[in-house]
Amino acid sequence: MVLNNTQRSTLVATLNPYFEAIREINNPAEAKAILEALSDQKKFESVRRIVENNDVVEEAKLLHLVYLHPFPQNRTTTNVYLDEDNDPDWVVFKSNNAEGKQTIMKERTGLLSLTSLNDCTAEPVTKSDVNVFMNERVFHEIIIQDTRIGAPKSDDDDEGFKNYRVSNVRSQDDILNRNYQQYGLAEQVEEEKEEDSIILQLIMLVLALLGMVWIGEKTAKAAKRH
């Protein structure tokens, strides 16, 4: 599974300022240490002082949260007109089903709202897709810091991002998602009644006809005056 173009562009635009703040840390070794800790809870705690000293607390926390959140890909804002339960753990929204009918859906509250950008060019976005994006970007940023430090480029760098923190991310996914997997994808809450849709279409047709009659009467009166 991969991100579609819109989802990837959205992630780049959203997360760029946070990565750039860490990239601009004066000490490249400290910047690298923060980057290497983003996907691991214990390591992130161990670099807390480095994060604070470099004044990138909010930036580092957000990037760490993308890894930590069980559903970073999901929506953040519910439809208050549809959300009767007002449960902060769930987001309610309207969507078209495979038959083109509007349905009321819900999904676990997320962080990046990428699910709202799903389209027919790729499978529905998942947490794993977000992690792959993060791994690639973090590895790229680490290479930049290695260049600043002056470390020679390794022959394994080209393959590095493929394996970078894969074991950490997989184990973290298991812990965070084991009990949530069945809720990760949006589920249908209620399908609008077909009768209601037909009634609405009839009302719109009647209104359109009345409008045409009104316009005709106005035109006839104007013609008589002339």
Q: What is the pLDDT of residue 203?
A: 58
Q: Are residues 168 and 212 in the same domain?
A: no
Which residues neighbour 112 within 8 Å (Cβ) at sequence distance 6 or greater? 10, 11, 14, 66, 72, 73, 74, 76, 130
Q: Are residues 201 and 118 in the same domain?
A: no
Rg over alpha carbons for the chain, rounded to the nearest Å, is 25
Q: What is the pLDDT of residue 164?
A: 43
Return mean pLDDT, the chain.
78
Q: Are residues 146 and 130 in the same domain?
A: yes
Q: What is the pLDDT of residue 38?
A: 97
Q: Are residues 201 and 185 in the same domain?
A: no
Query: How is residue 42 written in tokens?
Result: 């214990």
28 versus 220: the higher-pLDDT residue is 28
Q: What is the pLDDT of residue 40?
A: 95
Q: What is the pLDDT of residue 152?
A: 60
Residue 226 pLDDT level (bands cut at 50, 70, 90): low
Q: Is 185 exposed, middle or buried (0-12, 13-18, 19+ CB in 10 A)?
A: middle
Helix (H, G, I), strand (E, B), or coil: what is residue 154?
coil
Q: Are 31 and 53 in contact (CB under 8 A)?
A: no
Q: Residue 30 above 80 pLDDT?
A: yes
82 φ, ψ to 5°?
Answer: -110, -20
Q: Are residues 142 and 91 in the same domain?
A: yes
Q: Are residues 43 and 15 in the same domain?
A: yes
Q: What is the pLDDT of residue 214?
A: 54
Query: How is residue 117 written in tokens?
Result: 């950008």
Predicted model pTM: 0.68
**Length, in residues, of the chain:** 226
Residue range of the domain that includes 107:
5-192
Q: Are 103 and 191 in contact (CB under 8 A)?
A: yes
For 112-151, the pLDDT digits (tens) are 999 999 998 999 999 999 999 999 999 999 999 999 998 6
Q: Are residues 83 and 58 in the same domain?
A: yes
Q: Are residues 180 and 208 in the same domain?
A: no
Helix (H, G, I), strand (E, B), or coil: what is residue 27?
coil
Q: What is the pLDDT of residue 84?
A: 74
For 156-203, the pLDDT digits (tens) are 555 544 444 434 444 444 434 433 433 345 555 544 444 455 555 555
Q: Are residues 30 and 64 in the same domain?
A: yes
Q: Are residues 199 and 157 in the same domain?
A: no
2 φ, ψ to 5°?
Answer: -135, 160
Counting the structural domains of the chain, the total is 2
Q: How far is the C-alpha of 4 from the C-alpha of 15, rounded, in Å?
A: 17
Q: Are residues 100 and 205 in the same domain?
A: no
Q: Are residues 112 and 40 in the same domain?
A: yes
How far is CA 157 from its chain centroid?
A: 28
